[in-house]
Amino acid sequence: MNIVGIVAIACISLALIYPVKGCSSDCCKSCKPPRCMREGGNGRTFAYFPKDGVCKKYSSERGCPGRFYGTEPDCNKCCKSKLRG
């Protein structure tokens, strides 16, 4: 088997194994707000996202697909690269 075949088999194997592993960190949720959530508001579901260097509360009336941080401390911990200082 040539090098291209070996690399192809390795890539396919990793593609099958990696999704099964999942996230091994507490910080696996999104730091980017989806379009279905708005800053502030009194919606039924809430999440926190970085904006202007701080974590702000967003809400949605009907919920949004995805995984988001439900507390400000979690947002501060996991979205550090988007926050000030």
Per-residue pLDDT tens digits of the chain, which is 85 residues long:
688 777 777 767 666 665 555 677 889 999 999 999 999 878 889 999 999 999 999 999 988 999 999 999 999 999 998 887 5
For 14, half-sphere exposure in the C-beta direction (CA atoms, 13 angstrom radius) is 6
H or E element that contains 45: strand 45-51
Q: Structure pTM?
A: 0.70
